[in-house]
Chains A and B, each alone.
Chain A
Amino acid sequence: MKVSIEVNGNAVTEEVEDRTLLVHYLRENAGLTGTNIGCDTTSCGACTVLLDGESVKSCTVLAAQADGHKVTTVEGLRGEDGDLHPVQRAFREQHGLQCGFCTPGMIMASVSLLAHNPKPTRDEVREGLEGNLCRCTGYHNIVSAVIDASGQEVGQ
């Protein structure tokens, strides 16, 4: 079937199998490999992207379900100066990553969380990111990064 998705502001139209998953569409058809495939079972959150502005796990969405909708991947994030998005910048500042595999998903889940709750507490960040697994950081600095990105003072 023909699937048209506005990916990071650009219209993408591809002829794909009906069973194509959104994550494969993004990586293989749109050529955007920033979105990682981790567990492939809706568990780890590495493949998180925004669908119409809300975080979803793109391994558990059909490309067909996103047909006619807007998707934002980590490549689509920009700050006002055209450089890093505030959440990306905060992950770097707060050392919110080590190996980096979970990071695109973490960042997209954080963007969605902050869109809904612009000034979260540390506990609310932990709850908001409970669908994203990180095997390096122990999460502490990821939580700090989201607090930083929200414009709040990073406590311990």
Chain B
Amino acid sequence: MPQEELRDTGELVARARAGDGAAWARLVERYSGLLWAIARSHGLSDADCGDVVQTCWLRLVERLDQILEPAAVGGWLATTARRECRRTAQRRNRELPGDVPEPAAVPAADQVVVARERLCRVGSALQDLPRRCQLLLRMFAQAPTHAELAAALEMPLGSVGPTRARCLAHLHRRLAR
């Protein structure tokens, strides 16, 4: 995937810059899932997650003419999402001082019960993985490159591959039970 996917992202950015709304829509469809997952990983509500994703797209629009590496836009979006999540969390803390719940990678158990019947075996096995693996696999499944995953998880580029392999092996073991 990566090389072709990257070139494709770069092309979409170049076309969006030239005013092509369809190319822009493709970018939004390609990366919004990753941005949403990043926002969830910070424990944000639906409304705040929506705000973060929208803000990321507005930030990209405002500097569309200045992007030096159009193919690296996915990593830039992921970094921007993390920054906006921290800002949102800080604002919430100012407004509502008190305990901040531990963020969940997948929704809380009671929500999951509702969805469980729709979940395949893979979905159930995911629930049993450590949170970091859930997050990584969720983001990886959005088809990002290693560079994008590194930005999304704030992880050194070199440890993305091994961590991903470890989490996949973990999931395979759960499925084999």
Q: Are A and B bound to each other?
A: no
Which residues does A use to contact B, with CB under 8 Å? none
